[in-house]
Structure 1
Amino acid sequence: MTASSVILWQRGQAMTEFVVSVGFIFLVLFIIVPTFGKILDMKFQNQQAARYVAWERTVWLRDMNSWGGNDNTGDFVISSNEFESVAMRSDSDLTNSLHNRFFNGQGRAEIKEISSSDVDGASGDTSALWAYNQSGKSMFQGVEVLNTNEQETPAIAYDVLDVLDAGLDVITAPIEFMLNVVGGDNTDLLQLDYNLKGYYSPRVRTSMNTGNAKGGGDGEWDRNDGSWGGGIEDAIFQNWDGRFTANSAILADGWNAQSVGYYQDRTDNFVPSTVFDNTLFDVLKAAASILEGGPSKSAIYKLDFGEMGVEPMPGEEAQPLDVSCDEGHCYYDE
């Protein structure tokens, strides 16, 4: 073998090595890296969706009996007045809202407005970013919301509250009986009335469409039995089912999801403003006023008891009063 033939042979070997090595490098750069980026983006959306489902249960009750039907749930109402209506969403409505806010109609450079129609059902295409590089088909298959039930709060403090509430029921039972005789109406006097459940730990599972990967998701991307596989994307699903599962948890007492009547009743449990709002106390006031010169002159007779106000600011018909300012001092126009 001459020197010139050795040089030519080495040149051919170098070219072969270059083509093979560059092929594998560019496969990683142009297919694997972008694909993993898309997968991580879907995983992030799945995590955000799980947090969203947990948080929404602090805003929306699932049904009127979400609190086990205690006495104060009788104050829950559905009303056209947003200040008096209980906020409710079923599990299916919440799942639809999740689809529309995180998966459907959410694409690159596309901002989707939040509206009440979110609960009507998933609408709109999924992100154009979620597409396989080789096949060009969608990577997204679907979303499931699991374990949506309200659970007992896993805390000793809530067990103590349960025992304390039961003890108060024994103490207040004879008091409530006497109040009912004279026309009183406070069936839950001194009840703590906490939601002893209120614990949610939903799981959200997003599934990739493995069948849309080049090769169907179950082949070999490298040489197998002397032939090339269907696509490099198959390698992703060799030991993975293409699912993301995110867990979240939240403790929701639900104060911000109740009616005005519920607030008043709950306040009245500990501020006995309505305990003395009955016929017997009116008679006692009238009798005591004689010692002060009669009802028209008596300070005792002017004592008045009723429901506690729970408005965050002075208002009329659930609307805040106007404010007037004078030399730096502001007042409500009453």
Structure 2
Amino acid sequence: MCNNYQNQKGQALIESVIGLTYVIVPLLILLPFMAKLAGIQHRAEQASHYTAWERTVWKASDPSRLPSRTGIYLAKKTEIELAKQIPWRLYQQTGIRLTSTHKQKWDWATSIHPTLKHQLIHDGNQTVMLKSHGASPANQNELDRLTQSNKGERLPGDVSKAIDRIVGLLSYTGFSLERDQFYRTSVNNELENLYLAPFSNLNLSVQGNNALLASGWNAAGPYHVKNRVERLVLTKIMDMGVIQLAQRSLAILPFGKELKSSELKFGYVEPDILPENRLCTYGTTNCGG
């Protein structure tokens, strides 16, 4: 009994040393690095969500049946303009105000959040973890360290195909809707070969993906609403010169006053259904200003 006890003496200490050396200490070293990776992944996911949502409100091109006249209100933003907003909104350090126009220039070296920096070499300074697209980093270019893609496509599935056929039939009347409103977005960040002993050449990349279904109805003002809806009104085909001439002729008769073209309007659509005193220009006094 005594000999067995003496042989086992110090076993718990040796197990603790081995556990600390090969398990606990490496985990403690990896925790800050893993936290930074999780931060980059979170930002990539947020960026993909932001890109998908922005595309639903900022159009890349004019919607169908958009008339060429005043009174058209359409928010448009190119793919590059949309992507350049990602670093400002999601990768910037704390304290930078969000705005549509920035007076200062973006700088990946100074504008990025401190948690997105890490050592590239042993005993080196903290530098940006995100890898540049070129051999020489273009720190003034917001798109230098991220890749963003955004494409609209038709909704997959049997139900969507049936709806697509119905909308296609309505197109014979001149009515049309955008059917590429299922947006798939992706934001990708490649990481530098970071110093993480004993590991080397960690070719890591982080990607965020999102999909968002938006409405194909994009009304860009009252004239756009009128131009679209009136194609669903069947009596619109009677709104022609010959019938209007007949209406004016019948209006001469005592019982035909209500038949004149200014009173009986075929295919008439009026988008402004509110009383005039309830209409206002957004941004003015008493109207969102």
Q: Same fold (TM over 0.5)?
A: yes
1:281 and 1:98, CA in 2 relative to 1: closer, same or farther beyond 3 A? Answer: same
- CA shift, 1:193, in A, is 0.8
2:275 to 295, 314, 333: 314
Matches within 5 A, 1:186-197: 190-197=173-180
Q: Tell me what 1:303 maps to.
A: 263
Alignment of 1:1-334 (within 5 A): 25-29=24-28, 31-64=29-62, 70=64, 72-73=65-66, 75=67, 84-103=72-91, 105=92, 107=93, 110-117=94-101, 122-123=106-107, 125-132=111-118, 135=124, 136-141=126-131, 142-146=145-149, 148-161=150-163, 163-164=165-166, 167=169, 190-210=173-193, 213-214=194-195, 221=198, 234=199, 238=202, 241-256=203-218, 258-271=220-233, 275-292=237-254, 298-301=257-260, 303-305=263-265, 308-311=269-272, 313-315=274-276, 319=280
> 1:97 touches 1:121 (CA, 8 Å); kept in 2?
no
Q: Does the 8 A contact of 2:60 with 2:76 survive in 1?
A: yes
2:98, 2:259 → 1: CA distance?
A: 55
> For the residues of structure 2 that align with 1:121 and 1:91, how far apart are their CA atoms?
19
Structure 2 unmatched ranges of 5 or more: 1-5, 132-144, 283-289
Shift of 1:37: 1.2
Instruction: Provide Cα deviations, 1:35-88, integer angstroms capped at 9, x if missing partner.
Output: 211211111111111111111111111123xx5xx5x14x267x7x7xx23211
Contact 1:268 1:308 in 2 (8 A): yes
Deviates more, 1:304-313 or 1:39-48: 304-313
Question: Secondary structure of the residue that 1:303 maps to in structure 2?
Answer: coil
Superposed CA deviations along residues 6-49 of structure 1, whole A, max 9, x for unmatched, are 9xxx99x99998777656634532x3112211211111111111
In structure 2, distance between residues paired with 1:60 and 1:121: 23
Alignment partners' CA distance in 2, 1:303 and 1:169: 30
> Do 2:73 and 2:220's aligned partners in 1 also have CA atoms closer than 8 Å?
yes
3-state SS, counterpart of residue 283 of structure 1: helix
Identity of aligned residues (%): 18
| CA deviation string 1:142-175 (max 9, x = no partner) | 21113x23323324455445544565566xxxxx
Q: Tell me the SS of whatever aligns to 1:140.
A: coil
Q: Which amino acid aligns with 2:97?
A: E
Distance 1:304 1:50 in 2: 52
Equivalent pair of 1:60/1:257 in contact (CA under 8 Å): no
With structure 2 as the length reference, what TM-score do the two structures score? 0.69
- Shift, 1:317, TM fit: 11
Counterpart secondary structure, 1:132: strand
Give the direction of change, closer, same or farther, for the CA distance of 1:164–1:34 in structure 2 (3 Å limit): closer
Deviations 1:125-144 (A, max 9, x none): 11112233774333233211
| RMSD of aligned Cα (Å) | 3.9
> In structure 2, what residue type is equivalent to 1:94?
L
Q: TM-score, normalised by structure 1?
A: 0.61
Amino acid corresponding to residue 54 of structure 2 in structure 1: E
CA distance in 2, matches of 1:127, 1:206: 15
Name which one, 1 or 2, has greater alpha-carbon Rg: 1
Q: Determine the C-alpha separation between the residues in 2 that align with 1:164 and 1:17.
A: 71
Structure 2 SS opposite 1:196: coil
Query: Cα distance 1:195–1:158, how it changes in 2: closer, same or farther (>3 A)?
Result: farther
Mark the CA change 1:198 to 1:245 in structure 2 (over 3 Å): closer, same or farther: same
Does the 8 Å CA contact 1:165/1:191 hold for their aligned counterparts? no
Structure 1: unaligned runs, 5 residues or longer? 1-5, 171-189, 222-233, 322-334
Matched residue count: 252
Residue 269 of structure 1: how far off its partner (Å): 1.4
For 1:264 and 1:252, locate their aligned partners in 2 and report how far apart those are by CA, in whole Å. Answer: 21
* Superposed displacement of residue 249, structure 1: 1.4
For residues 222-261 of structure 1, what are the alpha-carbon distances to aligned partners after superposition, in whole Å with 9 as ceiling and x for unaligned?
Answer: xxxxxxxxxxxx36x65xx221122211223353463432
